[in-house]
Structure 1
């Protein structure tokens, strides 16, 4: 890893129009519409009074494979998506155009042979008004890049899940073709579609995108606590713990403390925690 070049990397402002079709396709990719009679689902996948699903902010204006640039000297093959968070300042609207502004916020060097953490931040603005509508942060684990220096010695502490029994649980199934639908929203990594390449990466079969699993967890939060109003979700953060295979059932456990919702998600079929240290804020 070339720390100096990584910190100096200049991201182009990324313009992204979101027509109604793309908004509905994203919602279908995270499993919205499983129950076609559910009005709370229909608002995201039917053009009449269409609303944009909140976690779409993670997907639009994506910088692509910038980290693979040879000048950065990052061992990107060993990169893992460790954490994700987003804050909603104003809901997205179908038909509008948004601009993503990125910066490398920090790098934490764990030491030679121990890897590093890269903290990336996206500020999403509406093109017409230049108003900031969302702040998105991603933490990437650079397993092959320790020992090259950093800008911080401390990572943000993960949200602590309460030790008491969960207050509520919700199960949401994924479709066998979930990854094939979700990838049409822009993430075409072949390990989510090609069984041969997924096997070479160490998986039994193609895996679900991490941000798709995040979308399913966001669905669970909204279903359990928003009373059908997605605008009540103000922020969400989590850690990725393990991959999900399309077709599996994701069980999310919740702990509510006022407007703060702690959560953890696991796969029912394998008993594996796939999302951890989750925290969401729900407005009254």
Structure 2
């Protein structure tokens, strides 16, 4: 059954209650490499890995209380999509205030965009979290559904954010552990593509690949530690397009260009001739 854009976009928002604890934050931070490359007791790492003075890396919101699966993108009316042909195309988070280390919130999700790219459909699922004190965050998840285009919808804009044609202001090489995907998946993404070699081969890969949202978290942590003095609460938003795969055990090369309150970022595999991993990546932040 083809996509029915009118029915999908008219579907009412769905709300669910979510909750998280400090141990969820600590596990997530370990899953994106906190404490792996400096002494584990380095104060700069303990703010991610020890409950005393614990701060929350904003990308944690993608897994908080069950993560993006709570959005329910594929159970909406008007969408009959082959899940085997779905890719996570991009992610944007906007922080309305710092995320508490433990909390409860209501997550409200809806389909915010549906675009016909001809050979594929692009869905934008928007999830907004709020607690008793008001809005916490907004997540826009871009889902690329191969073979689902041609339903007659709008094509949508094609936005790209190319880095400046100059050397980056900062460049970091981040060795990623061979077991990073096995650790990250404990935060809730159980897709066997990231753990099972046989499943990975069926998907066309020689070995399991790292979760895109794990590379997203590693990259954002690198930006926070490199440019923002390790203060995760200064992040206002982070948007990225998943441009290619990354394998556990490789080294992630993160380049950052300073444009004031806006940082342009790229992430590539240093082991595969700078093969792109994250592109069109922009982090906005509160300036001191």
Shorter-chain TM-score tier: over 0.9
Compute the displacement of 1:154 (Å).
Answer: 2.2
Q: What is the match of residue 125 of structure 1?
A: 130
1:50 pairs with one of 51, 54, 69: 54
Q: What is the match of residue 166 of structure 1?
A: 168
1:115 and 2:120 aligned? yes
Which string of whole-angstrom CA distances, capped at 9 and with x for unpartnered residues, describes residues 155-191 of structure 1?
2512231111212101112111111111111111111
Compute the displacement of 1:42 (Å).
Answer: 1.0
Compute the displacement of 1:79 (Å).
Answer: 1.0
d(CA) in 1 for partners of 2:156, 2:71: 26
Residues 42-81 of structure 1 aligned to structure 2 (within 5 Å): 42-60=46-64, 61-64=67-70, 66-69=72-75, 72-81=79-88
Q: What is the match of residue 229 of structure 1?
A: 231
1:238 and 2:243 aligned? no
Q: Secondary structure at the match of 1:13?
A: strand
Check whether the contact 2:73–2:125 (CA below 8 A) recurs between aligned residues: no
Check 1:80–1:92 CA distance in 2 against 1; reply closer, same or farther (3 A cut). Answer: same
Residues 1-80 of structure 1 aligned to structure 2 (within 5 Å): 1-3=2-4, 4-10=6-12, 12-34=14-36, 35=38, 36-60=40-64, 61-64=67-70, 66-69=72-75, 72-80=79-87
d(CA) in 2 for partners of 1:121, 1:52: 21
Check whether the contact 2:194–2:200 (CA below 8 A) recurs between aligned residues: yes
TM-score by length of 1: 0.92
Q: Which moved more, 1:66-75 or 1:173-182?
A: 66-75
Q: Secondary structure at the match of 1:212?
A: helix
Check whether the contact 2:116–2:122 (CA below 8 A) recurs between aligned residues: yes
Runs of 4+ in 1 over 6 A off after TM superposition: none
Check 1:232–1:83 CA distance in 2 against 1; reply closer, same or farther (3 A cut). Answer: same
Check 1:76–1:222 CA distance in 2 against 1; reply closer, same or farther (3 A cut). Answer: same
Q: Which moved more, 1:207-216 or 1:54-63?
A: 54-63
Compute the displacement of 1:115 (Å).
Answer: 1.1
d(CA) in 2 for partners of 1:168, 1:247: 22
1:247 and 2:253 aligned? no
Residues 191-210 of structure 1 aligned to structure 2 (within 5 Å): 191-210=193-212
d(CA) in 2 for partners of 1:64, 1:231: 25
Check whether the contact 1:259–1:283 (CA below 8 A) recurs between aligned residues: yes
Q: Secondary structure at the match of 1:280?
A: strand
TM-score by length of 2: 0.91
d(CA) in 2 for partners of 1:84, 1:153: 19
1:275 and 2:288 aligned? no
5+ long unaligned stretches in structure 2: none
d(CA) in 2 for partners of 1:166, 1:142: 34
Q: What is the match of residue 91 of structure 1?
A: 98
1:141 and 2:144 aligned? yes
d(CA) in 1 for partners of 2:160, 2:106: 29
d(CA) in 2 for partners of 1:2, 1:110: 13
5+ long unaligned stretches in structure 1: none
Compute the displacement of 1:69 (Å).
Answer: 4.4
d(CA) in 2 for partners of 1:211, 1:11: 24
Compute the displacement of 1:207 (Å).
Answer: 0.8
